[in-house]
């Protein structure tokens, strides 16, 4: 279960990649703009601000996230993006921090490019930090104490060149960026991943097991990402982007 409050705890940091992704979409007057994986809708609303005349479509698999998006006035709906099909007037599709959960995302992306009209834009962003200490330590704890949960931590991300190859035939702009997030508070990195990568782990564990899991992981993360003298924690985070215009 997604927790919109936990996810929004780092809203400023999480929003920057979305804005940098959308800035590379050069659509001037799209008829329909779609946000696949809209989350609580705080970023989806900015699409309406940029393209006020467009029909805005928002989809997320989490009922909790969709409820939060609807509270912002969005006509969001619950759905599986693997089953989503673009309406004929779809001119912009945004997918931010969603596709990493899908093992067959390459086939999905290729299908979308064949179903979208010529000139439509497809923009995606995924986390690419799965070789970072945060994820490696998470896997270490799971494999040592909860090995039955390891399949919940299988993420799928291509390099920029990999996405360019998947989107071959389109006009593609692909790149990667490593952000240095300056976090504050106790167990800052643990709290960050609790809102994202740890979500399926939290859903699989009861309250006592979850507390034990956090207690085992927290000191490992604290050593890998020590608090600085000013109380902040530096958290490098790599992300991969691709923007394609359908030919």
Strands of 76-78's sheet in order across: 76-78, 55-60, 32-36, 90-96, 121-127, 232-245, 171-184
**Average pLDDT in the 93-105 region?**
95
For β-strands 90-96 and 121-127, DSSP reports them as parallel
3-state secondary structure of 128: coil
- The 3-state secondary structure of 167-215 reads CECEEEEEEEEEEEEEEECCCHHHHHHHCCCCHHHHHHCCHHHHHHHHH
Helix axis angle, 207-224 to 133-145, nearest 10°: 140
Q: Look at residue 7 and tell me whether its pLDDT is greater than 50.
A: no
In the numeric block, the tokens 């692909």 are attached to 174
pLDDT band at 14 (very low <50, low <70, confident <90, very high): confident
Q: Is residue 13's pLDDT more than 60?
A: yes
- Tell me the average pLDDT across 22-29: 97
pLDDT digits 0-9 by tens, 196-223: 889 899 999 999 999 999 999 999 999 9
* Residue (of 211, 214, 218, 223) closest to 187 by Cα position: 218
- CA–chain centroid gap for 19, Å, is 13
Share of the chain above pLDDT 70, in %: 95
The stretch 39-50 carries a mean pLDDT of: 95
- What is the structure's pLDDT at 4? 47
| 66, two tokens | 């969709």
């Amino acid at each position: 279960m997604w927790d919109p409050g936990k996810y929004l705890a780092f809203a400023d940091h999480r929003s920057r990649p979305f804005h940098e992704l959308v800035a590379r979409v050069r659509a001037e007057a799209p008829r329909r703009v779609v946000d696949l994986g809209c989350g609580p809708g705080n970023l989806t609303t900015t699409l309406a601000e940029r393209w006020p005349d467009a029909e805005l479509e928002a989809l997320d698999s989490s009922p909790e996230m969709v409820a939060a998006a609807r509270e912002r006035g969005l006509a969001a709906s619950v759905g599986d993006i693997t089953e989503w099909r673009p309406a004929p007037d779809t001119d912009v599709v945004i997918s931010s921090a969603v596709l990493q959960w899908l093992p067959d995302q390459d086939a999905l992306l290729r299908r979308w490019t064949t179903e979208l009209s010529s000139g439509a834009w497809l923009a995606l962003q995924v986390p690419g930090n799965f070789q970072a200490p945060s994820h490696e330590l998470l896997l270490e704890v799971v494999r040592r104490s909860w090995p039955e949960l390891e399949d919940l931590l299988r993420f799928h991300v291509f390099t920029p060149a990999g996405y360019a190859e998947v989107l071959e035939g389109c006009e593609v702009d692909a790149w990667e960026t490593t952000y240095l997030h300056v976090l504050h508070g106790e167990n800052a990195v643990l709290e960050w991943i609790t809102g994202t990568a740890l979500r399926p782990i939290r859903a699989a564990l009861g309250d006592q097991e979850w507390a034990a899991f956090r207690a085992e992981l927290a000191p490992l993360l604290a050593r890998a990402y020590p608090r600085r003298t000013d109380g902040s924690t530096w958290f490098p985070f790599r992300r991969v982007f691709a923007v394609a215009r359908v030919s």
